Chains A and B, each alone.
Chain A
Amino acid sequence: MTRVYLYALLSGPPACEAGVGVCAEPLRLVAVAGLVALVGDVAEPPTPSALTLRAQDTVLRRLAAGIDAILPVRFGTLVANDAALAEALAPRRPQLARALGRVAGCEQMTLRVWGEAAPAVSFESAGGGPGTRYLDARRRAHERARSVPELDPLRRRLGGLVREERAERHDRPPLLATVQHLVERGACGRYVEEVDSARAALAPWRVSVSGPWLPYAFGEEAA
């Protein structure tokens, strides 16, 4: 008995044939609630490994070239059949359509921020009682988890090249943070040039850049 393996949501039918998936199964398109889902029928989902992750990425990249927007779905997403797929996607249609609009015509560039030590954090106590100080500390922790001020000199240079950003702090030197940028297709060369020209201004932090990738970090709604 086969089940439906969901690869991605697309803005429309791809220009090329859907081809075959990670398990060598023929891929097909399913229209669901105004969305186009790319699926394959498999007996078992692929086992997560570097090889199968790369294979899935290759499948999606081939199709991405011929469509405006692609929203990769979390690896290993399996549903019983097309009806179950429709049931899962229909209630989330507005959010998914918004996410497809967000990544339309874009690809993802990834920056890793490296340094020998995480920058010291000092702030004035909020004052008040223990409850107030606790809540304020939690607020700052949430804020800091998504903040990478080390990249501010680069952000000024990247300006209009970046449509959206996702940031995650690790603070495990030398890896300090990962920042994902949504960049218009075709602008990655200029993006890399701007990163290179900002290296001196970013000292003592180092950055490495990779991409372009499919917009994996910008499809939370489809994860």
Chain B
Amino acid sequence: MSARRPAVQVRELESLRGELERQAALAAPRWNADPEDVQRSVARLVLTLVEFIRQLLERQAIRRLEGGTLSAEETEAVGVALMRLEETVRDIAARFGLEPEDLNLDLGPLGRLL
């Protein structure tokens, strides 16, 4: 558009390309049980659903925290519960060789679960 506008630098373009590739790599696969590795496939599906619920609970807790409807004791209890749930999901995922970004599902036209 405007000739006086500074051009995007090569490093910046490379950075943008890297971010696009990272986002593309995050595209969640549809769930297909691998007959050679059923346990891991099932663990991935179950952990994805648990992580989905954990994130819902976290958002609800944050909404209530911001809305001032959680007492100090409730905030502490909810925070500890969510923290331990996150640790548990991460630990079980690691046992099955799953990374955090593996815990997602492609829901087709609805987009990604997480």
CA distance A77 to B110 in the complex (A): 9
For A193, list chain B residues within 8 Å (CB). Answer: 2
Residues from 166 to 223 in A contacting B, C-beta threshold 8 Å: 170, 172-175, 192-193, 196, 199, 206, 208-209, 223
Chain B residue with Cβ nearest A6: B109
Interface class of chain A by DSSP: mixed
For A112, list chain B residues within 8 Å (CB). Answer: 8, 12, 16
Contact A128 B72 (CB under 8 A): yes
Question: Given A79-B109, A128-B75, A135-B75: A208 and B62 within 8 A (CB)?
Answer: no
Chain A, interface size category, equals 20 to 34
- Does residue B81 face the partner (Cβ distance < 8 Å to A)? yes
Question: Given A114-B12, A131-B80, A174-B15: A139 and B62 within 8 A (CB)?
Answer: yes
Number of chain B residues whose Cβ lies closer than 8 Å to a Cβ of chain A:
32
CA distance A133 to B81 in the complex (A): 12
Question: Given A112-B12, A139-B65, A139-B66: A175 and B19 within 8 A (CB)?
Answer: yes
Choose one: A128, A130, A133, A174; the contact of B12 (CB below 8 Å): A174
A-B contact count (CB 8 A): 89
Contact B5 A130 (CB under 8 A): no
CB distance from B11 to the nearest CB of A (A): 6
For B79, list chain A residues within 8 Å (CB). Answer: 129-136
Interface centre among B5, B15, B65, B79 (most CB of A within 10 A): B79
Sample (12) of A-B pairs whose CB atoms are under 8 Å apart: A77-B108, A112-B12, A114-B9, A114-B12, A129-B79, A131-B76, A132-B75, A138-B82, A139-B62, A196-B4, A199-B6, A209-B5
